[in-house]
Structure 1
Amino acid sequence: MPEPADLKTLSRGPAGGGVPLDATVPRLSLLAHPGLAAFLSARLLSSFSAQVQAVAVGWQIYMLTHSARALAWVGLAQFLPMVCLILVAGHAADHFNRRAITVTCQIVEACGALVMAAGSFGHWLTPGVIYGMVVLFGTARVFEMPSQQTFLPALVPAAIFPRATALSSSLFQFAAIMGPSVGGLLYGGGAGFCYAVCGAGFGLAALSTYRMALTGAAPARRPMTMETLLGGLRFIRARPEMLGAISLDLFAVLLGGATALLPVYADDILHAGPVGLGLLRMAPGLGALAGGLILARRPLQRHAGRRMFAAVAVFGFATILFGVSTWLPLSVAALAVLGAADVLSMVVRGALVQLRTPDEMRGRVSAVNTLFIGSSNQLGEFESGMLASLVGPVEAVVLGGVGTVVVAVVWMRLFPALRRLDRLSDLRPG
């Protein structure tokens, strides 16, 4: 992918990684950095394969059971490993070889997908076996994510980290958009064929991760104690701007999670049917993809904190607009704006979490961040559904949007350090 943006000022990379760059270099492709292309391809392949596999698991478990409750058990099997193991995964990322952890997890995912392919072709894959494999995949993802999230600061200098984050987020959104669609098409060839493709994708991701050019000393191994497990939480709590960014995202997504109600809107409010539902589900991802590409080309230069608060407020107002809309094009546009605003917030939060954290703490801090994001998505859907059952879907979405705007205003006063955050490229560990 060609890199059009001009790098006028570059600084040295974070301690223990990155490539020192001279400020006089007029133009340099992001993908020219050693290992970055391998990182992006590994993340894209892993995320894409996970999305395709999720579609296959959902279809297959429903075909075997014809039970909506069985689908709920799949969600629980995915969520439990995160709740139980995320802090352990963070400890492992900080005290063992991160690349080895990530490659091992991706190989486990590849082997698991091939086992499910064999079970589907051999007609011995039962719901119980599928639940067990979903737990295995969930466990592998829990250990993979904190380690994988620490790679980017070791591959690019701090000056272009926000652009690299935006590009990485764009590719992730591409996987989120295309994965379910491709999964549905591949499932037409049978569940076994679908799982076999996923196995190949995870295997290629492992190969790309192995090929990354990482620098820095090997982490010092320490025994797992409550002190090391809770180190990430304590680190974030002691840094108001980081705590503010993570908690702001938590409450914004928790209150503004309208995606759980998209089937209700498509059927009862917009009268758009399944095609309309597909457009609504695709819109946030398309907006996020566009926003990420724009930020990769034209990164945030100044006033990052204020722009993050503005993005969260826009997220809230877009949620309100979607809530009151009865016209499908307007609803799709509101969800696209919502997705774009979410990416800007994600870039600022990602820079804070990765660049303000010393390398020896990045795994545990990334684990806490992952837990907050996962919890907000899951609980946000639960909150939206429960509130809609009490007051109605439109009222639930509008109240959630209003709540998001209120949280943005309150957080500006509670976390002045985050509001004053200026250049993301100036962030340093500490």
Structure 2
Amino acid sequence: MQKQDPYASLRIKEFNIFLLVRFLLVFAWSMQFIIIEWQVYSITKDPWSLGLIGAFEFLPAFSMALFAGHIVDQKEKRNLFALCIGLFSLISFGLYFLTNPDFISGWSSNTVLYSIYALVFFGGLLRSFFGPTIFSLIALIVPKKLYPNAATWSSSTWQMASVLGPAFAGYTIYLIGVNLSLCIVFSLVLLSSFLVFLIKRKPIMNPKKGEPVSKSLKEGISFVFKTKAILGAITLDMISVLFGGAIALLPVFAQDILQVGSKGFGFLRAAPAVGAFLTMLTTAYIPISKNAGMKLLAAIFGFGLCIIIFGLSTSFWISLIALFFSGVTDGVSMVIRQTILQLKTPDHMRGRVASVNSMFVGSSNELGALESGLTAKLMGTVTAVVFGGTMTLLTVISTGILNPTLRRLDLTKDMQEQEEKAN
């Protein structure tokens, strides 16, 4: 196998434009989510309200995921991406409107709160299209032999934006307030809506264009369940994210337990993404395809340990370090999962497979927020976080014992085959 070029996909101009657009969108989306979490908790002072944010985004994202995947496989990807960005800008403007005192003077707190929840719900509908569209577009911009490298840089860009977005949101809330912070979000989304048109339109790769929806959805689900490497990886990641969703409770830790305010909240929220981003940069130079299954299990086990340490900590610095290493371990699992998906998914099924992945993994972030909010309400905040971390450890142990296929997963051969085909 030839020596890996860590910058191979970055030599493609359109891919760099794509990365810039993705950075702006994720930066804006993560900023917006953090600002809304802060605003909602400031209004209610109830951890359950944070869980409801997750529920209102999860329900539409999950229920629409398969249909969104079908649409993505049937449509031209660049224009669909541009449409999604345009709709995102409307949601961002709506949230800006709902936090402007001049616009909502005379509104009750409940009216404002329910209106925010409604926009979060529509954001969940939109997110069900974003993931499959982005996943499919990457495969049309870079050649197949560069998929693993492109997946690493795309995920790294996502993590970089996730690092900077929450930290920046924490500071802007402190310096200029919630409303002007959301104005920045809206401006970033508008900028990305112009840049996306620097990417050329792409051909539709689906040979079954016009296929009935029911048949298309059935084919996508069947493929995922028959491909054990994909099924095992995304199932394990889903369960770990579901029970390790301590991030949703960070406003409670920042305001009531660690008492570090909005600036400390920004650092805590960014710490996991910092760890994940550094890990992903490392994997661009040091591939982790060999013994990928065991590395995936070890990474998620480490993630569970970090969540438990964070839950038990009353020190800001210990909490920050624990969250950082939770990001390191999560970064390993994310790179492995994305590499599996890119290598083992046919071009004409990318939208549907990405949608199934979003149902398993992406939506579990919001369901995890709901689980965290509910258990915090029933058990108390600290106990809820420790419970989630413990369930993650038990899941990894049982999966390692019961799923030898995943345990023995090695991606080296798949990557060699792609290189040989390219040459």
Q: Partner letter of residue 169 of structure 1?
A: S
Judge which range, 82-91 or 253-262, deviates more.
253-262
Q: Which residue of 2 aligns with 1:307?
A: 295
Q: Pick from 381, 390, 398: which aligns with 1:410?
A: 398
Q: Partner letter of residue 211 of structure 1?
A: L
Distance 1:251 1:407 in 2: 7
Q: Which runs of 5+ in 2 are unaligned?
A: 419-423
Structure 1 46/392 Cα, relative in aligned 2: closer, same or farther at 3 Å? closer
Contact 1:266 1:274 in 2 (8 A): yes
Q: Pick from 288, 295, 308: which aligns with 2:283?
A: 295
Structure 1 215/266 Cα, relative in aligned 2: closer, same or farther at 3 Å? closer
Q: Which runs of 5+ in 1 are unaligned?
A: 1-6, 11-25
Contact 1:87 1:230 in 2 (8 A): no
Task: Tell me whether 1:376 sits opposite 2:376 in the alignment.
Answer: no
Aligned pairs for 1:51-130 within 5 A: 51-55=30-34, 57=36, 75-114=54-93, 123-124=102-103, 127=112
> 1:358: how far off?
0.7
> 1:149: how far off?
1.6
Q: Which residue of 2 aligns with 1:255?
A: 243
Q: Which residue of 2 aligns with 1:340?
A: 328
> 1:317: how far off?
2.3
Structure 1 344/61 Cα, relative in aligned 2: closer, same or farther at 3 Å? closer
Task: Tell me whether 1:221 sits opposite 2:209 in the alignment.
Answer: yes
Deviations 1:53-73 (A, max 9, x none): 33555667788x768688776
Contact 2:167 2:270 in 1 (8 A): no
Deviations 1:374-430 (A, max 9, x none): 33222323334444555555544344333322322322233323222223572579x
Judge which range, 186-195 or 316-325, deviates more.
186-195
Distance 1:325 1:67 in 2: 22
Task: Tell me whether 1:41 sits opposite 2:27 in the alignment.
Answer: no
Structure 1 275/146 Cα, relative in aligned 2: closer, same or farther at 3 Å? same
Task: Tell me whether 1:149 sits opposite 2:135 in the alignment.
Answer: yes
Distance 1:268 1:62 in 2: 11
> 1:155: how far off?
3.1
> 1:213: how far off?
5.2
User: Helix, strand or coil: the match of 1:221?
Assistant: coil
Deviations 1:184-226 (A, max 9, x none): 5556657665455434322332333332357655434224432
Report the aligned-residue RMSD.
3.5
TM-score (norm 1): 0.80
Contact 1:163 1:295 in 2 (8 A): no
Q: Which residue of 1 aligns with 2:226?
A: 238
Deviations 1:4-42 (A, max 9, x none): xxx9446xxxxxxxxxxxxxxx78543112421011111
Task: Tell me whether 1:212 sits opposite 2:199 in the alignment.
Answer: yes
> 1:310: how far off?
1.3
User: Helix, strand or coil: the match of 2:410?
Assistant: coil
Distance 2:357 2:146 in 1: 21
Aligned length: 407
Contact 2:70 2:351 in 1 (8 A): yes
Structure 1 420/75 Cα, relative in aligned 2: closer, same or farther at 3 Å? closer
Contact 1:286 1:336 in 2 (8 A): yes
Q: Partner letter of residue 138 of structure 1?
A: G
Q: Pick from 140, 147, 156: which aligns with 1:161?
A: 147
Distance 2:93 2:383 in 1: 45
Contact 2:234 2:357 in 1 (8 A): yes
Structure 1 245/189 Cα, relative in aligned 2: closer, same or farther at 3 Å? same
Q: Which residue of 2 aligns with 1:317?
A: 305
Distance 2:203 2:371 in 1: 43
The structure that is helix-richer by fraction is 2
